[in-house]
Amino acid sequence: MDIIGNNAFLNFVDDLEKLEELKLDTFELGIDKLRIVTILPLEDRKEFDIALPVLTPSLIRKKSLAEEIAGLEVSSFQSIVLPMSEEDQRAKTFRYEGYDIITLKKEVEREYTIPEPQTAQEVIGYYARRIAEAVKLPAQFAVLAPKVREFFELKAFGHPVDLSDPDIVKAMSTAVAHYVCVDVFKKALQALTIEEQKPQLLEPARMLSTCQPFPWSRPVLEGQKCIFNLVPCDNDFERKFAKFLDDASDVRAFSKLPRAFGFTIEYTDTAMNLRNYEPDFVAVDKAGTHWLLESKGQENVDVLRKDVAAVRWCQNATKLTDKQWKYIKVPQKEFEALEPNRLADLAALMPTLFDEADGQ
């Protein structure tokens, strides 16, 4: 994939890399040569194939929050008191200019007036839709609107108000009112949108050898204990870690878990959004224990939540199969300080992780 764009778009890509913990490779046209290889499982390496059990999700997004919304106590919301007399300083008009993309000549110029809402119900309906979108449950608009009305009528201004008063309608329409209303409802509802359920085992397990061939332009390792012809790595540390697994005397088989294989574990981020986590590596030691391994350079606020989700997945997989599964996060600094020779040496990194998971 080639990414070409203006500075704003490239800044968006930078933010995406940070959010998703990705590092997109770059090269200079005409100077650097892009080397693309094909990663594929090999028939003569079946002894290094690894099966990953397929579990139903332990976290799902509810399809309806009607009962939870109806039970909201808006009087208990923690929010600022909205001002009623402050003038709305937002622009009442905006100018649109259209330019020819080739000549950059201005072709169109228009000025538009932004209409003000005439009734409280218009504002309430708009905010209810924004809240429903924020919690990713658009079908909840009908049950949200009465609660938004209750919020403005009884709570938002610090005392009961008459929503038919034009001054109140104007105060409800400010940018501050918009932000406060959507924010307090989002915080109240977001944690309720995720439901825990007992995972079930689906058959059959997925074999790494079923992964379809895919192109790769980042670092690779010619591993000997991997089902794939090459071990695809996202960065130099992953390549170093893959070399460690390939050389470790107590590792029977290992592999990078490529995105093309599609193995993910659900977790909630700090904003209570349901997301999918993709562990880096899987390995099987000579005792038959299966390992999910995360080689970590930089860490962000969601890393611990991913750790907890991976530990719980391993616990569930162990209960539902006849195989033991364990998880280890391997921070780069600790790995380089530890200088391990065997997979068992990484046990030094496990106690703190499992203590953190048990405390969640």
Q: Going residue by residue through the chain (360 aa), what tens digit of pLDDT does each one get?
A: 444 556 666 676 676 666 656 666 665 555 667 789 999 999 999 999 999 999 999 999 888 888 889 999 999 999 999 987 655 445 466 677 887 777 788 877 877 665 677 899 999 999 999 999 988 888 888 999 999 999 999 999 999 999 999 999 999 999 899 999 999 999 999 878 888 999 999 988 999 999 999 999 999 999 999 999 999 999 999 999 999 999 999 999 999 999 999 999 999 988 788 899 999 999 999 999 999 999 998 778 889 999 999 999 999 999 999 899 999 999 999 999 999 999 999 998 875 454 444 444
Amino acid 26: pLDDT: 64
pTM above 0.85, yes or no: no
Q: Extract the tokens encoding 29.
A: 């046209």
Q: What residues does each domain of the chain span? A: 26-58+197-358, 66-194
Amino acid 20: pLDDT: 58
Radius of gyration of the chain measured on its C-alpha atoms:
27
DSSP 214: E
Amino acid 85: pLDDT: 60
What is the rounded distance in angstroms from the CA atom of residue 255 to the CA atom of residue 230?
Answer: 9
What is the rounded distance in angstroms from the CA atom of residue 69 to the CA atom of residue 145?
Answer: 10
The three-state secondary structure class of 306 is helix
Long-range pairs, 107-110, Cβ under 8 A, ≥24: none
Which of 120, 177, 168, 174 lies closest to 146 in space, CA to CA?
Answer: 120
Give kind and range of the element (H or E) at residue 216: strand 214-216
Q: Which CATH number is associated with domain 26-58+197-358?
A: 3.40.1350
- Angle in degrees, CA 190, 192, 198, rounded to 5: 125
Amino acid 54: pLDDT: 97
